Amino acid sequence: MSPMLIILLLVPVVGALLMYPLRHNVPAAKATAMATALLEFVLVVVIWVGYSPAAAASGTRFQYEFSVPWIPAFGTHLAFGIDGIALVLLALTAFLVPGLMLFAWAEKLPEGRTASGYFALLLATEATLVGVFTATDVFLFYVFFEAMLIPMYFLIGRFGGPNRQYASVKFFLYSLLGGLIMLASLIGLYVTSGNILGQGTFTWSELQSIAHQVPESTQIWLFLGFFIAFAIKAPLVPFHTWLPDAGAEAPIVAAVLLVGVLDKVGTYGFLRYTLPLFPEASRTMAPLVITLAVIGVLYGALLAVGQKDMSRFVAYTSIAHFGFIALGTFAFSSQAFAGAALYMVNHGLSTGMLFVMVGLLVARGGSRLISDYGGVAKLAPVLAGCLLLAGMSSLALPGTNSFVSEFLVLVGSFPNEPVATIIATVGIIFAALYILWFYQQTMQGPVRGQAVLNSLEPVGGPGAMIDPAVAARRGGGFPDLTKREIGALAPLIVVIVVLGFFPGPVLDVINPSVQATMTELGLPDPVPAGGIAR
Amino acid sequence: MTPLTPPPIDYAAVAPLLIVLGAACVSVLVEAFLPRHQRWPAQVALSVVAIVVAGVTLGVYAGDAPAQGVITLGSTMAVDMPTLFLWGTLLVLGFGSLLLIADRSVEPGGAFVASALERASAGAAPGSTTGPSGVDPEHVDRSYGAPGDAPTMQTEVFPFTLFALGGMMAFVAANDLLTMFVALEVLSLPLYLMCGLARRRRLLSQEAAVKYFLLGAFASAFFLYGVALLYGYAGSVRLSAIAEAAVGTDRSDALLFGGLALLIVGLLFKGSVGPFHTWTPDVYQGAPTPATAFMAACTKVAAFGAIARVLYVAFGSTRWEWRGVLWAVAIASMVIGAVLGLTQTDLKRMIAYSSIAHAGFLLLGTMAITQAGTSGTLFYLLAYGFTTIAVFGIISLVRTADGEATHLSQWAGLAKRSPLLAGVMTFLLLALAGIPLTSGFTAKFAVFSAALSDGMAPLVVVALVASAIAAFFYLRVVVLMYFSETPADGPTVSVPGAFTTVAITLGVVVTLLLGVAPTLVLDWAGAGGFTG
């Protein structure tokens, strides 16, 4: 019984609650929120240091375990614990939030909205994410899975772009529908466990231990409930249509959390819940999932090429990336699993940075349309350079973080799913295509595009069509990154590059848990451990 | 001629019921003999004391009640664990509703008047829509009135409430169908009257009363006809006798199932289960909001308590015969509630359709003739009742000069002017939608898991899809409150008086507690089954 994870969960909750008494004192609220987020990050670092991959390799499934009965009538526990996969996702969350707060520091909020509310919602989102990744009781996981919707819903609906009402409601209803279908499976799982054990349970490890005794036909029904919920959350084609709307309308900071971390809950759910709890059903249904995944890789890439709106563009590239993660998850080899788990982290970093760069660009140009920009590299070289790095990371250029994970997924998937892997590899080419095309459109060539030209007009000069106040803020030019922005980006850039060359520390944490998942699945590993994954 | 021996009565067991009904009688006397200006304080004090004393008596008795329950009053009353739980539920929900009913500060002078004339004398000039003018509202509202002051509230509503509450308590404990019928009438008649007493929009209110009365009379007739058929079948109106008669007999099933069908129609009507729901939206909308809260919370408890008892005790052994029909009813109710709720533009009507959908969910629990089904239903009733009372309490606070602002468009942008109210309302709506960490989720889980383990998986899936659809209209209110711009002539949010504040706080706290730490209440609800 270690209280660490409880503390980890409570810190952002307390921080979010503190925003209320501080609502009239914006600087204090911001400082408190930032302090909370940094404290959370420090806690995660402490947990990381204390986490023992060796113990995990020798059979300890979860560490930092904490469990007290919650509702005995339902057999639920307030049970927390982490394995390697959960740990790296926790680290991703805690790493991103302080940086995002720095970007949100001076963000212009819609009229009538307060910064304290904004930061409170960010912290609340972080708390629910911590809960989702640390829960080891399926009921508790479900509670956080649903609770996660609410702060994100308000982030999009209150602080988002012009079409935010539509986007937020669509997001909420899609996710809620998935969640309720999952609830049906959850109840079914409980009843099934009661039939086998005599007393229903929600404890993950107990459910896992009886997983192979559940008849396959039952497993398939239960699997489908969980699968649909996770596929909506991930999102997999054809459950993806909410993401471009939500991603485009959410404020950039929330979009990073949404696409970078929140959506990982879906793929994390595949690895933690669907595979170990429904092993036979997962094997039976794998061809279906892999087909959807490959379709997602190609479809997402093609649609990304056709986007006019930068945020939607990034959202579609993410759908393509989620296809890779799903492929790795259902290819059933330890390498592919490790690749998928690492991909989740890397995608959070690279797409997060891409979203942030888009946000910085939009903050300067005031337009989300790709065609409104051109030749920005001449005016803002640092910004262009950072955008290029984010893009390269997103298309998995060797030397950036994503390369390692994408390579692992493809290599690990090949033995079991050669055809799907070959088709998915084509997606890499598409990725290069859409990223380079996007970069070329916005950054290179002569200075052009309505947004850029408008901002270059001197205040009150001939043909000035823009609001003088806005122009003054911009200084009548297209400013490069400020020091605060560079400061917020620097850790992200460092991590992206370092993980590209030294993924070892992260893989060391992931690998024992991946092996455990393989064992729970009860399938032979086509590529023995310790191969390329090291 | 043998002397008549009165049946032995277990007074300790039925004491709460006797206290409430006795207080109702005293309340009538108070109405008759006290001068007008003293009635309101006297009635409030009497009702509150009666409910609290009944609750304490119940608590003391329940502390060491026999687990298998007692059957008393010549076997017309079964005081078993579900009865005790339902009585407790009815008393606390009745208490909450009573607080809303007694409040005189939100609606100047209280929400209840008997005629337009009294409304006028309460301060508002006839035809004027601006409320009391020229009179210090503080004076009109708060003072208990000197002799000769204008009447401020129709205090008959208190004996009505107590009689209805007593009827409900008798209803859920009734061990034979005739007692159940009498209790049904005792609870229904005061409710019909309460619906017609709204201070504002009187035509709507009277329409609601007439509609409720006519349809309710039909439902009672159905019920009675069903009782007659069942008596013909079993030769007794006792629930357990019907169950015995149904086992191993060569009598025609037509009487049994014909009787059940008619009986259950009467009960489903009271529980506002679709397709017997048509009165619900009109009555919820037209009735004074505190009365709506009382109806929505307590009547539902009473109706489903009775349905559960009848199905469990009298028809448990024949459940494979009738369950198919109730499947259809439950699906109809869930779909009607969820889909028609989408099209509503009035908040009270929307909550009415929501209650129809919830009735469908509840039916799942009552259909599962298991211990888990019973306890799940009981828990659901308690959770839903508290949430509903708080919702109606909130609705009564948002007002224009013309009364409550129940049209959805009037709620636009409310979060800006009253963040606390909007936050509380959002929480309650999320509870109705069944989001985790609210009582709504725990309740749904309890009921659905009972249904699933009793072989109703398809129904559970339908229920969850209906929940998702219903979530849309709850969400619409949240969207309006938070994401929309305020209209220029928007409603104001009244500062609630102490009574309403307590009622809303109670509802919200219970909704949260039952979502986070429901163990204690779940244990109570699961303490024992029906006896017959």
HSE-up of residue A525 (Cα within 13 Å, Cβ side): 19
Q: What is the pLDDT of residues B493-522, one digit of tens each?
A: 888 889 999 999 999 999 999 999 999 999
Q: How confident is the model at residue B251 (pLDDT cuts 50, 70, 90)?
A: confident
| Helices A418-443, A381-394: crossing angle, 10 deg rounding | 170
Flag if A154 and B482 touch (Cβ within 8 Å): yes
**For residue B415, what pLDDT is reported?**
87
Query: Which residues of chain A have a CB within 8 Å of the CB of B441?
Result: 143, 146
HSE-up of residue A351 (Cα within 13 Å, Cβ side): 32
Flag if A173 and B448 touch (Cβ within 8 Å): no
For residue A82, pLDDT beyond 80 = yes
- Identify whether B6 is part of a domain: no
To test the contact with chain B by mutation, choose from A113, A183, A196, A220 the residue with the greatest count of B C-beta atoms within 10 A, namely: A183
A467 contact partners, CB below 8 Å, separation of at least 6: none
Which B-chain residues 396-425 have CB contacts (< 8 A) with chain A? Answer: 416
Domain ranges of chain A: 4-521
CA distance B129 to B489: 15
Flag if B437 and A168 touch (Cβ within 8 Å): no
- Minimal CA separation from B483 to chain A, in Å: 6
**For residue B125, what pLDDT is reported?**
39
Whether the CB of B437 is below 8 Å from some CB of chain A: the reply is yes
pLDDT > 90 in chain B, percent: 67
Q: What is the pLDDT of residues A285-336, one digit of tens each?
A: 999 999 999 999 999 999 999 899 999 999 999 999 999 999 999 999 999 9
Flag if A73 and B519 touch (Cβ within 8 Å): yes
For residue B69, pLDDT beyond 70 = yes
Whether the CB of B461 is below 8 Å from some CB of chain A: the reply is yes
- Identify whether B506 is part of a domain: yes
Selecting from A71, A158, A180 the residue whose C-beta is nearest the C-beta of B482 gives: A158
Flag if B468 and A173 touch (Cβ within 8 Å): yes
Selecting from B460, B484, B517 the residue whose C-beta is nearest the C-beta of A184 gives: B460
B154 compared with A254, residue with greater pLDDT: A254
- Identify whether B264 is part of a domain: yes
Whether the CB of A188 is below 8 Å from some CB of chain B: the reply is yes
What is the pLDDT averaged over residues B62-71?
87
Q: What is the pLDDT of residues B255-271, one digit of tens each?
A: 999 999 999 999 999 99
A469 contact partners, CB below 8 Å, separation of at least 6: none
The number of folded domains in chain B is 1
Q: What is the pLDDT of residues A84-143, one digit of tens each?
A: 999 999 999 999 999 999 988 877 787 778 888 999 999 999 999 999 999 999 999 999
**For residue B470, what pLDDT is reported?**
92
Do the bridges between strand A76-82 and strand B70-72 make them parallel or antiparallel, or are there none, so unpaired?
unpaired
B334 contact partners, CB below 8 Å, separation of at least 6: B274, B357, B360, B361, B462, B463, B466
CA distance B522 to B513: 12
Say how far residue B357 (Cα) sits from the centre of its chain: 15
Whether the CB of B371 is below 8 Å from some CB of chain A: the reply is no
pLDDT > 90 in chain A, percent: 69
Which B-chain residues 7-26 have CB contacts (< 8 A) with chain A? Answer: none
**For residue B274, what pLDDT is reported?**
83
What is the pLDDT averaged over residues B66-89?
91
Flag if B468 and A180 touch (Cβ within 8 Å): yes
Which A-chain residues 308-367 have CB contacts (< 8 A) with chain B? Answer: none
Q: Which residue, among A131, A143, A138, has the nearest Cα to A274 in the 3D structure?
A: A138
Query: Which residues of chain A have a CB within 8 Å of the CB of B479?
Result: 157, 165, 168-169
**For residue A222, what pLDDT is reported?**
94
A163: closest chain B residue by CA: B483
Q: Which residue, among B209, B102, B220, has the nearest Cα to B171 in the 3D structure?
A: B220
CA distance A337 to A412: 8
Selecting from A73, A157, A158 the residue whose C-beta is nearest the C-beta of B526 gives: A73
Q: Which residue, among A176, A172, A173, A169, has the nearest Cα to A142 in the 3D structure?
A: A176
pLDDT > 70 in chain B, percent: 92
For residue B150, pLDDT beyond 80 = no
Q: Which two tokens stand for residue A183?
A: 């609830």
Query: Which residues of chain B have a CB within 8 Å of the CB of A194?
Result: 453
- Minimal CA separation from B456 to chain A, in Å: 11
**For residue A464, what pLDDT is reported?**
42
B486: closest chain A residue by CA: A112
Selecting from B471, B517, B523 the residue whose C-beta is nearest the C-beta of A176 gives: B471
Query: Which residues of chain A have a CB within 8 Å of the CB of B452?
Result: 184, 187-188, 191
Q: How confident is the model at residue B128 (pLDDT cuts 50, 70, 90)?
A: very low
Query: Which residues of chain A have a CB within 8 Å of the CB of B519?
Result: 70-73
Cβ proximity of A295 and A237 under 8 Å: yes
Q: What is the pLDDT of residues B289-331, one digit of tens each?
A: 999 999 999 999 999 999 999 999 999 888 888 999 999 999 9
| Helices A84-104, A504-521: crossing angle, 10 deg rounding | 130
A192: closest chain B residue by CA: B453
Whether the CB of B527 is below 8 Å from some CB of chain A: the reply is no
- Identify whether B389 is part of a domain: yes
Beta bridge partners of B493: B398
What is the pLDDT averaged over residues A410-417?
92
Selecting from B437, B467, B519 the residue whose C-beta is nearest the C-beta of A147 gives: B437
Coil, strand or helix at B295? helix
Flag if B437 and A180 touch (Cβ within 8 Å): no
Selecting from A71, A112, A194 the residue whose C-beta is nearest the C-beta of B453 gives: A194
Flag if B483 and A165 touch (Cβ within 8 Å): yes
- Minimal CA separation from B519 to chain A, in Å: 5
Q: What is the pLDDT of residues B325-338, one digit of tens each?
A: 999 999 999 999 99
For residue A237, pLDDT beyond 80 = yes
- Identify whether B38 is part of a domain: yes
Selecting from A71, A147, A191 the residue whose C-beta is nearest the C-beta of B453 gives: A191
Flag if A150 and B430 touch (Cβ within 8 Å): yes
Q: How confident is the model at residue A475 (pLDDT cuts 50, 70, 90)?
A: low
A156: closest chain B residue by CA: B483
Selecting from A142, A169, A172 the residue whose C-beta is nearest the C-beta of B436 gives: A142
CA distance A152 to A121: 7
Whether the CB of B453 is below 8 Å from some CB of chain A: the reply is yes
Task: Give the ipTM of the model, two decimals please.
Answer: 0.87
Query: Which residues of chain A have a CB within 8 Å of the CB of B449?
Result: 74, 187, 190-191, 200
Whether the CB of A142 is below 8 Å from some CB of chain B: the reply is yes
Query: Which residues of chain B have a CB within 8 Å of the CB of A157?
Result: 479, 482-483
Whether the CB of A196 is below 8 Å from some CB of chain B: the reply is no
Query: Which residues of chain B have a CB within 8 Å of the CB of A188?
Result: 452, 457
Q: What is the pLDDT of residues A146-205, one digit of tens each?
A: 999 999 999 999 898 888 889 999 999 999 999 999 999 999 999 999 999 988 899 999
- Minimal CA separation from B192 to chain A, in Å: 38
**For residue B127, what pLDDT is reported?**
39
**For residue A473, what pLDDT is reported?**
52
A143: closest chain B residue by CA: B436
Rg of chain B on CA atoms, in Å: 23
**For residue B152, what pLDDT is reported?**
61
Q: How confident is the model at residue B115 (pLDDT cuts 50, 70, 90)?
A: low
Whether the CB of A17 is below 8 Å from some CB of chain B: the reply is no
What is the pLDDT averaged over residues B8-34?
93
Q: What is the pLDDT of residues B151-181, one digit of tens each?
A: 467 788 999 999 999 999 999 999 999 999 9
Query: Which residues of chain B have a CB within 8 Å of the CB of A190?
Result: 449
Flag if B436 and A173 touch (Cβ within 8 Å): no
Q: How confident is the model at residue A356 (pLDDT cuts 50, 70, 90)?
A: very high
Q: Count interface pairs A-B at CB distance under 8 A.
A: 90
Query: Which residues of chain B have a CB within 8 Å of the CB of A173?
Result: 468, 471-472, 475
Domain that holds residue B115: 11-525
Coil, strand or helix at A400? strand
**For residue B66, what pLDDT is reported?**
87
CA distance A373 to A360: 13
A181: closest chain B residue by CA: B464
CA distance A197 to A210: 8
Say which range, A31-35, A152-156, B101-105, has the weakest mean pLDDT.
Answer: B101-105
**Residue with token string 């409980």:** A190
- DSSP label at residue A163: T
Q: What is the pTM of this model?
A: 0.90
- Identify whether B2 is part of a domain: no
CA distance B352 to B287: 12
B454: closest chain A residue by CA: A191
